[in-house]
Amino acid sequence: MRVHSPTSKAAEEFIKPFKPKIIMALERLKVGGTFEELSVVSGLKEPQVWKRMVDLKNDGLVFDTGITRKLKSGLQGIVWQKVGLKPIDTSNPKTTAQQKAKHTIQQLQFAL
Average pLDDT across each block of 10 residues of the chain; the chain has 112 residues. List them in order.
Answer: 70 78 92 93 94 93 93 95 75 63 66 58
What residues pair up with 78 in beta bridges, in sequence order?
68
- Per-residue pLDDT, 8: 67
**Does residue 1 fall inside a structural domain?**
no
Number of domains in the chain: 1
- What average pLDDT does the structure give for the chain? 82
- Per-residue pLDDT, 5: 75
- Per-residue pLDDT, 84: 87
CATH code of residue 90: 1.10.10.10
Range 36-41, long-range pairs (CB < 8 A, 24+ positions): 36/71, 36/72, 36/77, 36/108, 36/112, 37/69, 37/105, 37/108, 37/109, 37/112, 38/80, 40/108, 40/111, 40/112, 41/108
- Per-residue pLDDT, 11: 67
Residue type at position 48: Q
> What residue numbers bound the domain in which 50 lies?
6-111
Please state the pTM of the whole predicted model.
0.71
**Does residue 54 fall inside a structural domain?**
yes
**Does residue 71 fall inside a structural domain?**
yes
| DSSP-derived secondary structure letter, 89 | -
**Does residue 69 fall inside a structural domain?**
yes
Give φ, ψ of 96 to 5 degrees.
-60, -40
